[in-house]
Chains A and B, each alone.
Chain A
């Protein structure tokens, strides 16, 4: 809590009542004159047209999935197709109220939203803008396919461009809007404001909040809508996103110029079902979904339920909410009631609902009723509608014809993916404006203090310098952060207790004095949303550094790390960058839920870079590298080393800027008899083990891995060729340790040179005990020597303290420990 705001017992204990305002439910009243005024007659017709486009697009996919053909063209689509027949009015009404610069994120069921938003944008952009976008997008590949058709004008061409590009994406073609690497559930087209759609239920909620943060902090125009399903209200990350979006600080502590709360609307396309679970009446208890807004903040998130079967009602509501958002009074929560006539997917037998129910909704069909409304009000004629239908079928047919033609639309080349897993770029800053800071860097109190510190751990006589006088690992983190804060105006950092506290481990102490609130702030205890919003921020174009206070909390951010942060660069075919550094502090002394090194979990996930510096020199150089890159980095720091001085680089930690080359392990001590590979703080145990081995006549080479991925094996293999023996050590539990992977790769790369199989040791496959007993849990120097003696090179005269015999290992494996 900032000191500027007082927490007062008198206030806290004062009797009063929480009063709720009414939440409007379906309050829209039709007024054709007003609608004509708002949209124009063409605009009203255009909405019908867009709805018909979506209906036909989805009908085409349904027909392919169910009958294997559409309009006489046979095709087999093995992938997903979550169709939105019945929900067209909701998507189109929303898009009708949005500008090109407004963003929408969506779900697995978002074909309709993509088409609605892009068609709306096409309608708003002029021909030059459209031509520019189409010719520059993917070198004009998509345009080249559609441009020779019979488009009557640029807008018509742009529609065909999107229809073809989206369908090619669904069909995994190179010409897809994401080169076929995203597919049905992930497709998007940023130039028209259609942002990534997400196959994880509720996945877009916190990401859209992060994207809105990006708009707010970088003063970008427009609002952001996270479209999610009603069933996703059961997802933790959705709630976390709401908490994050509704923080008080945007309006109480952030600079007023920024404009208040992030302009984000969480909009629920409430079609009453998850897959088969009925939300209202079975799997939830909210009665009406809009009620949820009332629990979040005093504005009740401006919650409202609207009739999603009437595009005009949705457009009206969206319009009103957009104003609120632009004035900084968000977030907004919308309950857009709709119904999907189609099954969840083509395999859905609708066993969870009655025929009568479906028929009732078909009777109320949004397209039929909107047609009737336009005809009744003399906006359109039957003949016009018929022409429209012919045109729509023609367009969809053409798009399909082109998309399934293997000469025109080649399947995506899986070989492309390898080069898209990482963007591997260096970007000094993502915007050229002056970074907003509160002080010149030299005046920062911690910067001044660090000037007085010794930057190498030992004095000229080799004596260790006292903790108070020496530059520490945590100072290295601070310096790297400062550098990038003062360089890249888009860079923001947040997490739990990141601001005044300075991060739980004082790495950020002193940043508060230099960095304004909106660039460095405390987040709610929402690990999922901490990472998820950072994903949204980064993919929108800014640099984010977020922190997990303990590695053990990573599970709380599982989806955001494993599926979001890691996947979007490649799923977008390189359109998106992910300049996101996730600092993860690895604990100890705090027992079983605060002491785990989970580097293996992220090592396993394609698309993540994994750094683990063990020294101040590396902490600064590696964080500098992470903060200059464009890829998602999981940056581990051990709490064991935060107060460590630099003990290897004789010149100390440089004051200036430098980067450690990514993926390069480093030889900490040369030796000829055995290689000890360490990851993280066990480097120091490894060094001690080397000393003890020297007393036993063995010369150990110690290599600090520093990186888990990417990892250059050259130095390691060279060492193993020399010594023939290698032991790998980290604080992670032995089973599934990332080091097993590395050990296996060493075996592959240097088998003929090995004198024994590489040996991996780690913490026991048990809970970490209390601090007092940790010596029996984390690998100790003696364990390293015992394992060498028992498994690699029996050492004359060595007495073991830890059992690494095969018999014991087999027993442990068998027992699952």
Chain B
């Protein structure tokens, strides 16, 4: 079985790279790790290494070609091996063109291939969205960024938002059909499995639409590829190759809320007003993590590498999907520095300008679903890291105060760790210490 060489993804915003020069030709022998070609993005030039030792069986794109990332650019194996399976579709003139239609949705019902007339192609260099599309997206609470436009010159128009509503949301097919047909609203989270929105979750937008018949709509297959494929593989690998489990706890949030408020109202010159609850949690976590090197580590099978520095990863929801940039040497930072570093990384992650470096080398990750009202969850490890801390929403909890019950705001915390790398006791202690450092944040700040 030959090994493929992929056009690497140099940072999340990079969609394609230009092959500057092949250093090898078909038939050459290479060792794993040898540089086989030089490629370039608009920001940098770098080398692509051989992914296996063997013979270059195929080079699929010539010098100067602009190739989408994650495409197979070469195959390495033993002489005589068949590499047709690895050959990218657009590389073979006899093969069918890859489907690039608007939403990557292939309707199975649309079997008619006899249409020769031009099809409407979504363009990535769209010219924004129409006011109507924006209004609709707002009303339905979906992000325009994720939608490709099929209007003139790629403008996102009403029908694109409608399509996205039908195909994008976590709706069951029955719910999708109803949405497409009627004047209905879907809740953000449904009552189905994993929050899927069921037909019964849909609410009528106007009382006049009393009659809803269930129309039949074609089933749809969404191909798994690109970023989705990458995430899928990573997640499955994480779950299958680690022994992860989650501990839940909650921290008295009164001090951090008060502190946050104080920061927010502070004099402009102090530049503290931008400090968020998440920054505070990150800071408290870093301070605690300093005492738990076993959790600031990578599980590498034969070894567990405990890191001297804390490179704190944090999950950012971007138009391209989930990204986890990390703050290098967070252990050396004040709260203010940490906050600023987090903000600048998040901004560049969202606008796509983030450096690839910032996306690798993390040692511990924090993921925050608090803003979505999540009370507890099981974060999936960012393997090979051995722990990830999930930050949940703040809810009032009853606390005994003498004989009275007092409701005190508490922040939920969910720590997933790899039991292969660490035991429950230190993980539990770590979580408790994080809880304490938040509850007594004033003391935590003292260092």
A residues lining the B interface (CB < 8 Å): 724, 751-756, 790-799, 806
Contact = CB atoms under 8 A, between A and B. Distances in A.
A811 B213 CA distance: 51
User: Top 3 A-B pairs ranked by shortest CB distance?
Assistant: A797-B117, A755-B132, A724-B132
B119 to A, nearest CB: 7
A792 B152 contact: yes
Interface string B264-292: 00000000000000000000000000000
A798 B118 CA distance: 7
B151 A793 contact: yes
A754 B133 CA distance: 8
B135 interface: yes
Contact of A799 (B118, B135, B153, B157): B118
B298 interface: no
Nearest to A756: B130
B62 to A, nearest CB: 31
Contacts of B385: none
A752 B132 contact: yes
B120 interface: yes
A724 B120 contact: no
B151 A756 contact: yes
A754 B132 contact: yes
Contact of A756 (B119, B135, B152): B152
28 contacts: A724-B132, A752-B132, A752-B135, A753-B131, A753-B132, A754-B130, A754-B132, A755-B131, A755-B157, A756-B130, A756-B151, A756-B152, A756-B157, A790-B152, A792-B152, A793-B151, A793-B157, A794-B120, A794-B150, A794-B151, A794-B152, A795-B120, A796-B117, A796-B119, A797-B115, A797-B119, A798-B117, A799-B117
B155 interface: yes
Given A793-B157, A794-B120, A798-B117, A754 B151 contact: no
Of B133, B135, B150, B158, most A-chain CB atoms within 10 Å: B158
Interface in B111-156: 115, 117-120, 130-135, 150-153, 155
Interface of B: 115, 117-120, 130-135, 150-153, 155, 157-159
A35 B159 CA distance: 90
Q: Which applies to chain A's interface (DSSP): helix, strand, loop or mixed?
A: loop
Contacts of B150: 794
Nearest to B149: A794
Nearest to A804: B152
A753 B132 CA distance: 5
A725 to B, nearest CB: 8
A795 B157 CA distance: 13
Contacts of A753: 131-132, 135
A796 B132 CA distance: 21
A755 B134 CA distance: 9
B133 to A, nearest CB: 6
A631 B48 CA distance: 81
Nearest to B153: A806
Contacts of A794: 120, 150-152
Given A724-B158, A793-B151, A794-B152, A754 B131 contact: yes
A751 B131 contact: yes
Contacts of B115: 797
A793 B149 CA distance: 11
B130 A724 contact: yes
Nearest to A724: B132
Contacts of B135: 752-753
A752 B152 contact: no
A566 B363 CA distance: 81
B118 A755 contact: no
Contacts of A724: 130, 132, 158
Contacts of B134: 752
Nearest to B120: A794
Contacts of B155: 756
A797 B159 CA distance: 16
